[in-house]
Every structure is written in structure tokens, then in C-alpha cells.
Chain A
């Protein structure tokens, strides 16, 4: 079985490279090649191809926010919206530096869930009262301040091997 990503099919080699990059994106092409038993030039080509097709979106650093932003608070904000205005509200929230993540969801009502960061509760309230509540289409808001984080991770090929069963052919 091959894994299709719109136009790009990923084989076992691609998935092996992605797995290696998710473990450590700073390792060399040679190190990845050695691990997978392929030439570093093949690793380079495959990575370039996956970057060009948007399979690899970007390389970033996972920062431990508890080490650098101990004083800041995080909150999950649920914004109930008029369905006609929901997209616009989500787009405006996405532009705010205080907002880290934005999702739309449909339960009994159309709502937006956003993760917000602020220096303290007062700043959090000021942001919601002055920048979110006045947005056209906002019906009401429920906010929960996060007190403790138990898990935070991203989709991982390593953790989801069954969801990405690769094509069993060799190389490309």
C-alpha cells in the first residue's frame, strides 16, 4: 500500500526519513542514510521532494515554555459565533499574537476554540474583553485557564505506524 499526500506518494524510505527527522531534525543526511542503508544523496533528494510538496512544512524547535515563560498563563477560549461570521472571527483571532492556535468546531453550535497566552489573568481578560468580545459575530465566550499540562505532542509517524503503511517498493 502506498501513502498518498495529494500528489506525492510516500514509500518506506520516505517514511523512514520522516521518522528520523521527527526524532532529530538536525541530524545529517549521512547519519539518516546510514540508519536507513541508503546514500546521503538519496536522503537529500527525498527531503527536497517532500519539502517541495509540503509534506515537510518547516523545521522548528520545541521550546519548553515552562523554562522560559514561567510567569505567563495559557487559556483555552471557546468562542460561540454566528455561523455567518465564524470564518472571519477565526481569521481575525489567528492574526493576534496572543493567540497560539485556532480551531473551528461544530457541536450543538458553531464554535471556535483558541489557545491564548498572556502575561497574567488581567492581561488575558483585557485581550478578550477588548479584542475578542467586540468582534462582529461573537455571541459569547467561555474561557478556561490551564493550570497544569500533562501532555503536549504533535502527530508522529513513530507513534502512528499503522496509519501510514508505506509502499513496499525499494527506492524511487
Chain B
């Protein structure tokens, strides 16, 4: 069965719709993600403070719901927010969630991983 959201979620976005990683209000790290694949990669690359900042604000959920249109992944990330994870544990859990979803979607589309 083909996941209806797979093609939308795996698309590459224009600059204005990419996710921009900040560490606090107005402090942009220079890292951005213009696709789910890039987002997954940047989870490992960015300062963990950036992950904590965006998770606490619900920015990941918002971007994944509104731009990537993947409610399921957004809900899973919301659960991480409720668990109040921080530091490397947050990074690994977030990475695991996004990676699992990415592999699942790529499997649906038959794209090379």
C-alpha cells in the first residue's frame, strides 16, 4: 500500500519553506533543512541546544505538520516534547523517530535509501 503522504513528505522544499535551526530567539546557527532527509541528517549535526529550543517551542511539529504534511511524525515528536528530553538522549530519540519514518516512506515510494 502506498502512503499518501510519502511524496509530499519526501519532497525538496524551496528556501522559504526550509527549516532553519536556531539556538535561541533570533540566533540562527547557519544550519537548515530543505527536506525530511536533510532534516534527519541535521539532527546529528546541529548544536543540541538548537534541538532543545525548537522542541520546547513545538517548532518541529509545526513544520512537519504544515510544510511536510506528515501528522503522524509530528504527533510522535510531540510525545518527545511531553517527555521533556534533553541533551544527547533527545538527539538520539529524535533521530530514531525521524529515521524510522524516513525509511518507511522511502520504502513506500521505492526510492533508493
Q: Taking beta carbons and an 8 Å cutoff, which residues of A are in contact with B?
A: 75, 77, 80, 121, 124-125, 128-130, 132-134, 136, 138-143, 145
Contact = CB atoms under 8 A, between A and B. Distances in A.
Nearest to A125: B25
A143 B20 contact: no
Interface residues of B, number: 12
B29 interface: yes
Contacts of B22: 125, 128-129, 133
A88 B28 CA distance: 19
Contacts of A145: 25-26
A138 B26 CA distance: 13
Instruction: Label chain B's interface by main secondary structure.
Output: strand
Given A133-B32, A136-B15, A77 B20 contact: no
A142 B25 CA distance: 9
Interface in B14-61: 15-16, 18, 20, 22, 25-30, 32
18 contacts: A124-B25, A125-B22, A125-B26, A128-B28, A129-B20, A129-B22, A129-B28, A130-B16, A132-B28, A133-B22, A133-B28, A134-B20, A138-B28, A139-B30, A141-B26, A141-B27, A142-B27, A143-B27
A136 B32 CA distance: 12
Contact of A134 (B16, B26, B27, B30): B16
